[in-house]
Amino acid sequence: MGKRHYPLESHHIKRLISHFAEGGILESHKDVPEAVRDELYEEQKLEKSKRKGGQAVGTGVQYPPININVLLSQSTAHEIDLSAHKALGEWQALSPLNIPGPRDLAVDEYVYNVMLENGLDLEQVYKDQDPKFFIEKGVKIGIARHFVEDIGKWVKNVKKAVSVCETL
């Protein structure tokens, strides 16, 4: 698939370690097992389709945009209008962050740093199931909820990948 660089994640590295432990050779890119290559290519395709915001994976259906209009009473609209001007003024005073790299990776790193600063590990966060902690530390509500709720799914996927490595 060309001379493109494919970043290895922990589950890829574990599979390569298993390959090497079973007597496989890893002297060059050509020695990477075909199953690992296929997995890397597939993950890159999925990542590329996510970034493009294209079709849903596997369905072939592109979802139409959703517009939600909320009609407010005049008194509520006036209150929101005043607070919006204040918020807009505060927002304009901030300079752009110019976050290097993909924003989703920056969010992952930020959540990771919040955990480290507070001495937390994944098991503790999973047992607590408390996204409010991360929200109070400045993580967006949706991201905090997904992070906390998806730990169990992530562990299952890692275990599957490790078991695949062990069978190779």
Looking at residue 14, its pLDDT comes to: 79
Check residue 2 and give its pLDDT.
57
Q: In this structure, what token pair is assigned to residue 132?
A: 């409010």
CA atoms within 13 A on the CB side of 44: 13
* pLDDT at residue number 91: 47
The answer to whether residue 78 scores a pLDDT higher than 60 is no
Percent of the chain with pLDDT over 90: 1
Decide: pTM greater than 0.75.
Answer: no
Q: How confident is the model at residue 56 (pLDDT cuts 50, 70, 90)?
A: very low
Cα–Cα dist 54/60, whole Å: 9
The residue written with tokens 């890119």 in the block is 29
Q: What value does the mean pLDDT take over residues 62-91?
A: 55
**Distance set, CA 102 to CA 47, 96, 131 (Å):** 12, 15, 23
CB-based contact 26:32 (threshold 8 Å): yes
Closest C-alpha among 54, 55, 58, 53 to residue 42: 58
What is the mean pLDDT of the segment spanning 78-93? Answer: 51
Cβ partners under 8 Å of residue 57, min gap 6: 46, 49
Residues recorded for the chain? 168
pLDDT in tens, 57-71: 445 556 666 666 666
User: Model confidence at 96, in pLDDT bands (50, 70, 90)?
Assistant: low
More confidently predicted of 49 and 90:
49
Identify the pLDDT of residue 81.
52
Task: Render pLDDT for 12-40 as a digit per residue (tens, 0 to 9).
Answer: 777 778 777 888 887 877 888 888 888 87
Angstrom distances, CA of residue 32 to CA of 46, 138, 157, 164: 21, 41, 21, 15
